Chain A
Amino acid sequence: NAGVTQTPKFRILKIGQSMTLQCTQDMNHNYMYWYRQDPGMGLKLIYYSVGAGITDKGEVPNGYNVSRSTTEDFPLRLELAAPSQTSVYFCASSPDRGGYGYTFGSGTRLTVV
């Protein structure tokens, strides 16, 4: 019963490098989300997906891209990493919107130097 799995757990990037944060869920949830959490702040929505092939921007999408080719996978791509992208990234999924609680992965701590 894995739930939501994120890899890697930690990563250090140099300015201008790119990387992909992986997220996989095994609960057959249609809805998936990417959030970032900065120190002392709440989680902010980067991108979300309501099903395979459908993605949309959240509150803070600049500098990121996503794709959703399958129900299970929702990778987040960082192009041209910047220090402002230093954060903890959480992937989440839910069976539906509204009052359903999200299932979160354990996070990826990213540092851009």
Chain B
Amino acid sequence: DQQVKQNSPSLSVQEGRISILNCDYTNSMFDYFLWYKKYPAEGPTFLISISSIKDKNEDGRFTVFLNKSAKHLSLHIVPSQPGDSAVYFCAASNNNNDMRFGAGTRLTVKP
């Protein structure tokens, strides 16, 4: 059962523009949502998280939005930079030890 879904395998944007990565989930018991970034031959790196009691969290160029009624979250990167090119994983947890991950979206930022 895939409780966390990233339906876009890839996304390409121009440098300086906004990147929007989307994620849907099915388990309404999730209370934390996280985004990770992964470069080739490296492990995922934690980027930003949001609690289910919030609808927005911002950290520099990265903002995560949560829409609980739609069971949807998104990561906005503004402005996008070539160094942001990586695979982005959405993850969700219900305060236990079983964090569920989406399949990832490969972001390419073109100069």
Contact = CB atoms under 8 A, between A and B. Distances in A.
Nearest to B103: A42
Interface stretch (A13-21, A62-70, A75-83, A103-111): A103-111
Contact of A105 (B36, B43, B51): B43
B90 to A, nearest CB: 9
B34 interface: yes
Interface string A92-104: 1000011101111
Chain B interface size band reads 20 to 34
A56 B97 contact: yes
A102 B89 contact: no
Contacts of A4: 43
Nearest to B46: A101
A44 B9 CA distance: 18
B51 A92 contact: no
Contact of B43 (A48, A59, A106): A106
B52 to A, nearest CB: 9
B49 interface: yes
B45 interface: yes
Contacts of A105: 43
A2 to B, nearest CB: 13
A40 B2 CA distance: 13
21 contacts: A31-B97, A40-B103, A41-B103, A42-B2, A42-B6, A48-B97, A56-B97, A58-B97, A59-B98, A97-B95, A99-B31, A99-B32, A99-B51, A101-B34, A102-B46, A103-B46, A104-B36, A104-B44, A106-B43, A107-B41, A107-B42
